[in-house]
Amino acid sequence: MTYNNNKKYDLFDDLQRNLSNVVDTIINHPYIHALEKKQIRKDKLEIFVCEQFHIIANDKRNFAFMISKTSNDAASKLFIDCLNAELKALENLMVFAEAMDINEIMMESYEPLSGCQSYTNYLTKLAVYGSDAEILAALLVDLPVWGNNCGKMSYILQKNYDFTKNSCKFLDNFANTLPEEFIKKSKELILSSINDISMNEKKIRIATRIIINYELSFWDTIYKYSIIKQ
């Protein structure tokens, strides 16, 4: 089985171009600017923490299901990496929550907002009905954008809200760039799937477009419920 690496790798550049407007909206989101201007009270950060608690809880199950479902060893290893990352994120989130006197009972009893949970619920749909390639493409597109905003939040919270670097390690860990090996192996799997069935490329484009729009929905919703009305 062979495929043209140069031609097919153009897919990833094309995805970035097509989604650039949404990506720009996310990384320049009013929520981030509101934090910078201290227009969001510190107690309102509870919304962010509790939404993330429920997202991570669901994503742990998503990746565990992906591992059990796939018959591809390479995909299985990539999803194991994702599951381990979620477990670490949950551990770090507890440190973040402790800095605001939020305990696990409070997070468990919190009622999630649909606009924030649409991302993880769509990931569940991909886990059940989608292909490994669709899932990995969605992650490659979304995670750097999410990480970008996490990095900004960490800086702002330490500067404006008296958080420590340790309490922000949940954000900082996501702000780190994806491992090169993860990107390389994911792209190889995605490209091989396109070579097998041309229709897969359309499905990959749909998955990346929807996931990044649900990422925007998270930030829109968190902003709506957090902002101090002037």
- pLDDT tens track for 172-199: 999 999 999 999 999 999 998 886 556 6
Q: How confident is the model at residue 1, as a pLDDT?
A: 35
Share of residues in the chain with pLDDT > 70 (%): 93
Its sign, for the CA torsion 97, 103, 104, 107, is negative
Q: Quote the pTM value.
A: 0.92
Q: How confident is the model at residue 11, as a pLDDT?
A: 87
Domain boundaries of the chain, sorted by first residue? 42-224
Read off the amino acid at residue 72. Answer: N
Non-local (6+) Cβ contacts of 31 within 8 A are: 40, 219, 222, 223, 226, 227
- pLDDT tens track for 116-141: 999 999 999 999 999 999 999 999 99
Give yes or no for a contact between 67 and 83, defined as CB atoms under 8 angstroms apart: yes
The arithmetic mean of pLDDT across residues 142-154, rounded, is: 98
Its sign, for the CA torsion 101, 102, 103, 105, is positive
Whether residue 4 is predicted with pLDDT greater than 80 in this model: the reply is: no
At residue 166's C-alpha, the angle toward residues 163 and 169, to 5°, is 100
Give yes or no for a contact between 219 and 31, defined as CB atoms under 8 angstroms apart: yes
Specify the range with the lowest mean pLDDT, choosing from 10-14, 55-59, 120-124, 218-222.
10-14
Strands (E), the chain: none
Q: How confident is the model at residue 10, as a pLDDT?
A: 81
Whether residue 219 is predicted with pLDDT greater than 80 in this model: the reply is: yes
Non-local (6+) Cβ contacts of 171 within 8 A are: 96, 150, 151, 153, 154, 157
Give yes or no for a contact between 108 and 177, defined as CB atoms under 8 angstroms apart: no
Whether residue 151 is predicted with pLDDT greater than 90 in this model: the reply is: yes
Distance in angstroms (rounded) separating the CA atoms of residues 126 and 52? 19
Residue of 119, 83, 112 whose CA lies nearest to 215 = 119
pLDDT band at 2 (very low <50, low <70, confident <90, very high): very low
The arithmetic mean of pLDDT across residues 19-43, rounded, is: 96
Topology classification of domain 42-224 = Heme Oxygenase; Chain A (1.20.910)
